[in-house]
Amino acid sequence: MPVRRRGSLARRHPHRRRVGAEPAHEPFEQLVSRALDDLRAPFRGLLANVAIVIDDEPDAEQLRSGAAGPDGLLYGLYEGTPATEYAADWVPFPNKITLFRFPLEEDFPDPVELAREVQRTVVHELAHHAGIDEERLAELGYG
């Protein structure tokens, strides 16, 4: 008689659930997409003039930009001219929000917390595009 292993038995019975199994992470791109889809109507208009980019981690120049926290971590970065500045639509380079996958996934291993922090980071960086500074974001609970 062949030896059955728990893994092969579990695969043959897909309706069975592993007890104590942690929920799996959604692909990072889906978390970002959902965070953008969940934005309220007034904020969605801000997306028209900004590119959303996903990178694994910030490069040395991005870390030197001064946006990293005191611990040197950077989850997201807004690069561009805020929409509130005069002639912001005339700038020769596109506005860009970069989300950094590895720092977020490392600091938020729980899938629910990761999804929440991706949403928070998207809102934080989009607020910079809207001209909101770090001090005001801290007052609003996004610091």
> Residue 22: inside a domain, yes or no?
no
Q: Which 3 state secondary structure label does DSSP give 53?
A: strand
> Residue 2: inside a domain, yes or no?
no
- Among the listed residues 114, 89, 113, the one whose alpha carbon sits nearest the alpha carbon of residue 100: 114
Domain count across the chain:
1
> Residue 4: inside a domain, yes or no?
no
Query: What's residue 12's pLDDT?
Result: 42
Query: What's residue 97's pLDDT?
Result: 93
Average pLDDT per 10 consecutive residues for the chain, totaling 143 residues:
38 43 73 92 82 92 75 86 71 83 94 94 89 83 71
What is the residue range of 44's domain? 27-139
Q: What is the CATH number of the domain that holds 81?
A: 3.30.2010.20
CB 77 within 8 A of CB 59: no
> Residue 64: inside a domain, yes or no?
yes
> Residue 33: inside a domain, yes or no?
yes
Q: What is the DSSP string of 54-102?
A: EESS--HHHHHTTTS-TTS--SEEEES--TTSTTGGG-SS-EEEEEEHH
* Nearest-10 Cα torsion for 73, 38, 90, 87: -90
pTM score, whole prediction:
0.74
> Residue 21: inside a domain, yes or no?
no
> Residue 18: inside a domain, yes or no?
no
> Residue 77: inside a domain, yes or no?
yes
